[in-house]
Chain A
Amino acid sequence: MKKNSIKKETLHEVTFTLNGKKVTCKIKGATVLLDLIRDVFDLKGTKSGCNEGECGACTVLVNGAPVNSCLYLAINANGKQIETIEGLIGHDGTLHPVQDSLVQSGAVQCGFCTSGMAMAIKSMVDLYETGQHVPGDIRTELPSRDEIKKYLEGNLCRCTGYVKIIDAAEKLFAKEDCR
Chain B
Amino acid sequence: MNFEIISPTTTDELLVAIEKCQNRHFRFGAGCTDLLMELKKNPADDLTVINLAQVVDDRLTNLTKTSKLYRLGSMFTAGRIVVNDELKTHFPVLHESAHNLASTQIRQVATVGGNLCTASPSGDIACALVALGARCEMLNTNGKSRSVAVTDFFTGPRKTVLKSNEVLYGISVPLNNKETAKIYSRFIKIGTRRSMECSVVSLACHIQTDAKGVILAAGVAIGASAPTIRLAKDACSSLIGKTFKKITRKEKEEFAATVLSYASPITDIRATAWYRKEVLFNISKSIFE
Which A residues are closer than 8 A to B by beta carbons?
9-10, 12, 28-30, 32, 51-54, 56, 59, 62, 65-68, 70-73, 75-76, 78, 120, 132-133, 135-136, 138, 150-155
Contact = CB atoms under 8 A, between A and B. Distances in A.
Interface string B13-41: 00000000000000001001100110110
Contacts of A56: 103, 105
Given A65-B79, A72-B109, A52 B37 contact: yes
B250 to A, nearest CB: 36
B56 to A, nearest CB: 11
B91 to A, nearest CB: 14
Given A59-B105, A153-B104, A54 B32 contact: no
A124 to B, nearest CB: 8
A30 B105 contact: no
Nearest to B31: A71
Nearest to B96: A136
B82 A12 contact: no
B5 A30 contact: yes
B99 interface: yes
27 contacts: A10-B4, A12-B5, A29-B49, A30-B1, A30-B2, A54-B196, A56-B105, A65-B79, A66-B108, A71-B32, A71-B33, A71-B106, A73-B5, A73-B36, A73-B51, A73-B53, A75-B5, A75-B51, A76-B51, A76-B54, A78-B54, A120-B104, A136-B88, A136-B95, A151-B104, A153-B103, A153-B195
Interface residues of B, number: 35
Contact of B36 (A54, A65, A71): A71
Given A133-B83, A135-B79, A152 B51 contact: no
Nearest to B108: A65
Given A67-B105, A133-B83, A53 B33 contact: yes
Chain A CB count within 10 A is highest, among B4, B36, B49, B79, for B36
Contacts of A72: 32, 109
A154 B106 contact: yes
Nearest to A153: B195
B102 interface: yes
Contacts of B102: 53, 154
B85 interface: yes
